[in-house]
Chain A
């Protein structure tokens, strides 16, 4: 069964770079046609898609975050990562990693989610 687990610092200082890793188990991150995404949720608020990486390395970013976001993939470790630069308090959120597809749907849905990790931006 596919499982995703986010990891990284829970506290980041303003103006620094937030870095998170998602470790995938129960399946290969480089399997053909797989898309892997990052989504965040500020406390008490809704979901915001951050970006997605295709197994081949192609990336797609939310236009509102594009200038600060980098998503990469490490097939040797079965991981993909998120970097968000120049963070402010408004970047405080639970960050989820997810795999597109699953549940019967295709790449246009997010069928597998990690449990999420809270990242707080504060000095």
Chain B
């Protein structure tokens, strides 16, 4: 079973800054099955990225994803007020769906 480890736990940044979030897998995985979600307080998670680098419908282009093998990254190019939230990576493999523990992006 693949374990996803996200870092950092919390990222403190200012509006307009660039955010770089990491998701590391315990073993190599297919980027086709790596996704990212955003969750704001009191809300359900929202799909942001799938296939590691494809934006879900309606997601602005300041969000981008990259990576392969065991290391994946979610980048927010310029933080907007609505981007401060918790972000989770997620993997599918062998009929199992697994989440990372999350990275909180907070206002500095």
- Write the residues of chain A forming the contact surface with B, with a CB cutoff of 8 angstroms: 37, 46-49, 52, 60, 62-63, 96, 102-111, 113-116
Q: Is the CB of B56 within 8 A of A105?
A: yes
Interface of A is mostly: strand
B6 to chain A, nearest CB (A): 9
**CB-based contact A47/B1 at 8 Å:** no
- Tally A-B pairs: CB < 8 A: 72
Q: Which of B1, B35, B56 is A108 in contact with, Cβ under 8 Å?
A: B35
For A116, the chain B residues whose CB sits under 8 A away are 44
B98 at the interface (CB under 8 A from A): yes
Interface range on chain B (Cβ under 8 Å from partner): 20 to 34
Complex contacts, B65 vs chain A, CB 8 Å: none
Tell which of A103, A106, A107, A114 touches B44, judged by Cβ atoms closer than 8 Å: A114
> Is B51 part of the contact surface with A, judged by Cβ < 8 Å?
yes
